[in-house]
Chains A and B, each alone.
Chain A
Amino acid sequence: GQQVMQIPQYQHVQEGEDFTTYCNSSTTLSNIQWYKQRPGGHPVFLIQLVKSGEVKKQKRLTFQFGEAKKNSSLHITATQTTDVGTYFCAGRAAGNKLTFGGGTRVLVKP
């Protein structure tokens, strides 16, 4: 079945630095979504990417969908303490359910 993998599993970042988390699917996706779950909270939708090579920005967050529509990345610049949480990608192959990756747990060192 479809598998979605995320790396790294943990990301320790110094406040103010940039980092990137990667998402890879075993199958070609029709779309990919990103969610953020704060500690003790529930996942909150961030963005959906649909087109091959698509790039979307939300303030300090940049999301990219690979040309082959099998991978995606989330890049955060100038990390802040409010960025703490777990970032999940979730991929959907055509006609299939959404499959979540394992998540990247982000810790920010002040």
Chain B
Amino acid sequence: GAVVSQHPSRVICKSGTSVKIECRSLDFQATTMFWYRQFPKQSLMLMATSNEGSKATYEQGVEKDKFLINHASLTLSTLTVTSAHPEDSSFYICSAQTGADEKLFFGSGTQLSVL
């Protein structure tokens, strides 16, 4: 099956620093990638939808200047958490799909801890 690789799996950083998370589709071209945030024992909250070569579409309440998304190719999307603060600590997870209405393949997630 399709594999989505997400790195790093865990990151601890100081408040005020920026953190970049990569999401790669290893054996398929992802027309669309999605970025989610998940708090402990809660559901997946969609942050943004990323299409290759175009600007990401952010969900209501998600600051686009805070969470920078770049989808440079059909196999790579990155999420940069700029000037991270403790309230940004969370589990961030990406997913990719091969076409509209298709199933999602999820990355393994990134646990971000901001001190």
Contact = CB atoms under 8 A, between A and B. Distances in A.
B101 A41 contact: no
A90 to B, nearest CB: 8
A35 B108 CA distance: 14
Interface in B6-44: 34, 41-44
Nearest to A46: B103
Contact of B103 (A41, A48, A97, A101): A48
Interface residues of A, number: 21
B101 A100 contact: no
B23 to A, nearest CB: 11
A97 B43 contact: no
Interface in B31-88: 34, 41-44, 46, 49
A31 interface: yes
A13 interface: no
Interface of B: 34, 41-44, 46, 49, 93, 95, 101, 103-109
Interface of A: 30-31, 33, 35, 41-45, 48, 88, 90, 92, 97-103, 105
A103 B44 CA distance: 9
Contacts of A43: 44, 93, 95, 104, 106
Contact of B106 (A30, A42, A105): A42
A52 B1 CA distance: 27
A99 B98 CA distance: 18
Contacts of B108: 41-42
B97 to A, nearest CB: 9
Contact of A45 (B42, B43, B93, B105): B105
